[in-house]
A and B are shown apart, each in its own frame.
Chain A
Amino acid sequence: MKGKRNLKVEAIEKGTVIDHIKAGQALNVLRILGISSDFRATISFVMNAPGSRGKKDVVKIEGKELSVEELNKIALISPKATINIIRDFEVVQKNNVVLPPSVVGVVRCTNSKCISNSSEPIKSKFSVLQSEEGVTLHCLYCEHLISENIAENLL
């Protein structure tokens, strides 16, 4: 008989499982990955699931192995998330997300006077800096720094 935990989200045969997402950030993870209503694969997720390190969110994407480059963007909002690539119900690859050195078209610059917020044909561009205080984004156009509310400014 299936355990209660399995009833919440079934194990997947093939695809990507993003685990240890900061509680409450699952929807932002989908946003950062550009997953919207026209995405064909089956997505399931749990929010505020109890885990050994406190509450967490989990996202499962069936039938699709996302690239490391795409997945690393998650580190912006949930630096402790882990990525599991599943084949035949087995975890064949497990990695921690790693902060990318730069992000393009992912976050909106919070400086309203930044050229990337105008109607010019460009995407926002940031270099990503990590310090003891956390993640800071440095706008490569206007040089503005964003260290708070990154999740709220996802494009």
Chain B
Amino acid sequence: MSLKNRHVISMKDFSREEIDHILDTAERLEPVARGEEKLKLLDGKIIALLFFEPSTRTRMSFEAAVQRLGGKILNLGSVEASSVMKGENLADTIRVISNYADLIVLRHPLDGSARMAAEFSSVPIINGGDGSVNHPTQTFLDLYTIRRESHLEGLKIALAGDLKYGRTVHSLCYALSLYEAEMIFVSPPELRMPPEIVRDLQKRNINVKETDSLEKIIGDVEVLYMTRVQRERFPDPEEYEKVKNRLKVTGDLLRNVNPNLKILHPLPRVNEISPEVDSTPYACYFEQAFYGIPTRMALLALAMGVIE
């Protein structure tokens, strides 16, 4: 299977076979990501990082992935100092930069910007997050983490927190539906999973439950995917305080859980997972952050056709 010259814009562009192939490749590259082996697959390649909004984690993990594979990075630098401030549109920026680099990683605040960039680029585009829509490399690393630390096929998973606005959970649900996962959505009523997504999953014969309580379901799941509930989603600060405390993973909550439970979180966390959970065998979120490196290495190498 070749993914050469494929853009990575949305999870929906990938079949289950292609996702499996990307995860297999990430697994092959994991020793390189850990620095245990050297493999200069991207020797002589230039990767442009165009980040039009702040991001530490995604950006640094792409930089680490490129450098582990021996590639060179071309940075946009600050948006303020670039031609964007002179009024250049994104389409022109992409047309120009795609002549400088072998691949472009794009993060942009507008929804659908990565899809548009792909139309104007002569090299593959990897979407590093476009507005509130897609962040496929996060989903690939979430899937990789679940596969490495638990299993994907027929998984029983709870997704908790802000399910209304969280782009990572929407795209993860879609991807997990390809593996016939059973899903429980845990959120305050204000932040429930959009009904069109629930309906869409049900149409795919996915077993979906919704609740507002972690206690009720924590004993039944193999993976708990936590997300941050943002204060700004609540007009009333008191309401936020109540919700924040109801959706919190503590040592107490984990007393009667599946011994193989794994807790994931895209990070940064605020207080939805207590620090005491970090040292339990359930905590998986820091390993998950590391898995971003082999996953992004796989996507870079496959899209540039330096690995099959």
Interface residues, chain A, CB within 8 Å of chain B?
111, 113-116, 118-122, 139-145
Contact = CB atoms under 8 A, between A and B. Distances in A.
B143 to A, nearest CB: 19
Contacts, number: 52
Nearest to B196: A145
B-side interface size class: 10 to 19
B112 A114 contact: yes
Interface in B99-137: 109-113, 115-116, 119, 130-134
Given A115-B113, A141-B115, A120 B132 contact: no
Contacts of A144: 111
A115 B89 CA distance: 11
Contacts of B90: 115, 118, 120
B132 A113 contact: yes
B203 to A, nearest CB: 11
Given A114-B110, A122-B119, A142 B89 contact: no
B145 interface: no
A118 B110 CA distance: 9
A119 B110 contact: no
A140 B113 CA distance: 11
Interface of A is mostly: loop
B196 A143 contact: no
11 contacts: A113-B132, A114-B112, A115-B113, A115-B116, A118-B110, A120-B91, A122-B91, A122-B119, A141-B116, A143-B112, A143-B133
A67 B112 CA distance: 31
Contacts of A120: 89-91, 116
